[in-house]
Amino acid sequence: MAQEIEALTPYARSLGITVESWEDGIPILSVPFEETVEGRPEHYHGGATGGLLETAGYAALRAELGRQSREAMLKPINITVQYLAAGKSRTSYALGRVTKLGRRSANITVEAWQDDRTRPVATAVMNVLVASPEG
């Protein structure tokens, strides 16, 4: 449980994101459809979907760093989000995959879906700076 809470930032918790389950050591995150994520009526705001993707990307990276017993400060470099379908008024899920973890940076791909996991509503690719805790 402590590990689950550590994976989420104050922003993520405030938005309503929680750890839904774990898959191969990586958390699947979810966010319920509430007013905090709503854009045009009954649909997700693009920013909320992006925030879920980004949070899932960091959670996947944290899990991989933990598996390698590496401590690191993470700093965002960039993110590119592709919106594939409108996010409807139901729970959304997201799972990240660390494509490459180097000494100084990580490349992560993330998918978000609702009812059908094989039909993602959005995907993202992120680069994250992986700095040593001292600096």
Partner 1 sequence: MSEKARKFDPSKATSFLTGRGHAGWLGLQYSDHGDDWVELELPWREDLLGEEGQRVLASGPILSLMDMASGMAIWRAMDDFTAIATLDLRVDYVRPAREGASVFGRSQCYRLTRSAAFVRGLAHDGDAEDPVAHIQAVFMKIAAAPRL
Please report how close the Cβ of residue 81 comes to partner 1 at its closest, in angstroms. Answer: 5
**Of the two residues 24 and 104, which places its CB atom closer to partner 1 in the complex?**
104
Half-sphere exposure of 1 (CA within 13 A, CB side): 0
**DSSP H helical ranges for the chain:** 2-6, 10-15, 46-67
Size of the site for partner 1 (CB under 8 A): 35
Dist CA 53 CA 30 (whole Å): 10
Min CB(53)–partner 1 separation in Å: 9
Q: Which is nearer to partner 1, 6 or 115 (CB)?
A: 6
17, 32 Cβ separation under 8 angstroms: no
CB nearer to partner 1: pick between 58 and 113: 58
Site for partner 1 contains 47 (CB under 8 A) = yes
Q: Hey, what's the torsion of the CAs at 74, 79, 82, 85, to 10 degrees?
A: 50
Task: Tell me the per-residue interface mask from 84 to 113 with partner 1, x by CB under 8 A, - otherwise.
Answer: --x---------------------------
Strand-pair category, 92-101 with 105-113: antiparallel
The site for partner 1 (CB under 8 A) is made up of 6, 9-15, 35-40, 44-48, 50-51, 54-55, 73-83, 86
